[in-house]
Chains A and B, each alone.
Chain A
Amino acid sequence: MKCEKTPRSMPWERLRRMRPERSSNTFWKEIAAGIFEKHLFTDKARGTVTNLVRLSPGAKCPIHDHPSVEECYVIDGDFRFGDEVFGPGDYQCALVGSVHGNLHTVGGALVLIVGPDRYEAVHKTELELEEQRKSLLALESRGALWEKVEHESDSPGQEMIIEDHQERAALYALGSLSEHEARAFKIHLRDGCAICSKELSGFEAVVGELSFGAVSAEPPAGVIDKLLARIEKDSQTQRPSISESSPTTPNSIPEPILKSTTRSRSYLVWAVAASLLVAILAASFWSKTNSALNEERRRLATIDDEVRALRVNLTDASARARELELIARALESPGSSMIKLVRGSEQSQSKDPAKIYWNKQAGQWIVALNMPPPPEGKVYQLWFITSAPLSAGVLTTDDSGRGVTVVEVPRGIGEIKKAAITIEPQGGSTSPTMPIAASADVGL
């Protein structure tokens, strides 16, 4: 797999040159035939990962769908969605629930992907998929379609996928998925995921049972009377024609008519009945239109939210592209290294709260932080630990605790034994305040 393309843009040329022998390169991972991925950053708060993906000439992406938004920025080469060609500098955003097939390159491509940390991946190439499609068509009639798909993908990631299904089903049953995620999950259910619907019905039963957990309480007296009164009122407003079109009692109308001809009486009864019917239909039509309108308004409001979120994502993405260029440059420099910091506290479950990419040539540390946001009025501060701690400065983060900071490593600082991050008051401190939030041995 070689990406033999003529250079197109100067800054990215550096990225393309950064291509050591694949066998010795621990950074690139082959995720599918001819497709290599370099993981750059995981944003836990948003549940997204940033990856560089390199496609060999002629490579095809496995079919996958999107449990959340995925952004794609083409750095170099050609990246194709069917017949549509995306070139360097092109940006594409895949929305929730969209399914991607026929994603491929002809001459090779380098793309930056910011997307969900897990996919509902059916890791198949198109050819395999075509074969599978045939056998699935046969299975479909027996209603075993999804079970088969789910169980067939017994890749190493399968357990993770099942866990992911369970997780979303549990959160959905509790109602604690965000509106966005809940919608994506509903689509996923509607698409017929057997695992999810089974998990969900179990979790929904649990949630139903949880309602018994709260201690009973004696409701205020008189609620039942209010309730019955309300029902009475509701039933009348639902049929406005009865109370409005006949202010007198219904029986009193036909009385005098009875004395004239039976013919006109029956005509009048029909007329009254017809006007009643029209009124009832009008009322029910009005209430239906009204609720449809409300529904439409709600839908528009959620679309607005989504557009807003996407705009934020876009600005984020361009900021991230700049950060990534820094990181890529650091990794490219001879003798560069990456230092993973671990949490100082007991929370060992959160992986990689911070990473330092050491650009030895430039004497820079590119510090990528992914910690919980610092407490109100506090900041994260980085320390070089030599014989004594030396401040490396305050690390900037956004609201989600994410951020990339470039730190100059002083010349002649001597051997740095450790890197440590502490929580300090705004502006930073001259000496570290314990405890250490995250640290790592630096070594050489």
Chain B
Amino acid sequence: MGSPQGSLEFSARDQDWAVLIGRMAQGDQSALSTLYDSTARLVYGLVLRIVNEAPSAEEVLLDVFSQVWRQAGQYDGKRGAPLAWIMTIARTRAIDRVRSTRQEQQRRDPLDTVQAVRSESADPEQDSVISERRFIVRQALAELAPEQRQVIELAYYSGMSHSEIAATLGQPLGTVKTRTRLGMMRLREALAPVLGGSQ
């Protein structure tokens, strides 16, 4: 993992996806089906982890791919890899959902959400490239100090603002901000081989 070979493979895969998005922009629905087949598990996994509720997750999944379809024409390869683009849409939509429901119903302790890690063996990911990327990210997260990992995971999966995180953890705001910054810097270092050119 993290080998130059791996990186090359990522970009080749991303190129395939970029071609699909280009075809979608021309109105090719079969391209959407193909893209869905190869990325839906990953998208759904992330969405489910964030919204934590299957019926909502399904709706969000539909929203995500509808948006990808609608905005295919606006996708700009220079600004990021296609999969990263799709996943950003996925996270944004999922967090929008969580935020709107958070106001209506008292959500269960978000810390449970963070700790509710599904078992590795149940991972239905069929794409070896994605599995490998997951392995690298998880390893990078595991190497963080637990309190750094905690604030980053809370921010990433719950969409809470730093002051909400501080309140949830009963920590001073400054501490939360510092932990986030240090954690993100370590992640950036650890992921540098995968992130490629940007660093």
**Which A residues are closer than 8 A to B by beta carbons?**
44-45, 47, 163, 166-167, 170-171, 173-178, 201-203, 205-220, 223-224, 226-228, 230-231, 234, 347, 349-350, 372
Contact = CB atoms under 8 A, between A and B. Distances in A.
A207 B130 CA distance: 16
Interface in B5-41: 29, 32-33, 36-37, 40-41
B66 A45 contact: no
16 contacts: A45-B173, A170-B184, A174-B155, A176-B159, A202-B198, A203-B184, A206-B184, A210-B152, A210-B187, A212-B133, A214-B50, A217-B124, A219-B41, A227-B65, A347-B175, A349-B178
B61 A171 contact: no
Given A45-B173, A166-B181, A223-B62, A209 B122 contact: no
A167 B160 CA distance: 16
Interface residues of B, number: 75
Residue of B70, B118, B163, B181 with most partner-chain A CB within 10 A: B181
B177 interface: yes
Contacts of A211: 42, 46, 84, 87-88, 90-91
A220 B44 CA distance: 9
B180 A231 contact: no
Give the top 7 A-B pairs by smallest Cβ distance, nearest first: A211-B87, A216-B125, A208-B84, A216-B45, A219-B44, A170-B184, A216-B41
Contact of A170 (B32, B172, B180): B180
B87 A173 contact: no
Given A201-B198, A217-B45, A218-B41, A209 B191 contact: yes
Contacts of A175: 95, 155, 159
B61 A223 contact: yes
B134 interface: yes
A163 B185 CA distance: 11
A169 to B, nearest CB: 9
A350 B160 CA distance: 22
A217 B48 contact: yes
Contact of A224 (B36, B84, B130): B36
Contacts of B66: 227, 230-231, 234
A209 B139 CA distance: 12
Nearest to B29: A228
B29 A350 contact: no
A216 B119 CA distance: 11
B111 interface: no
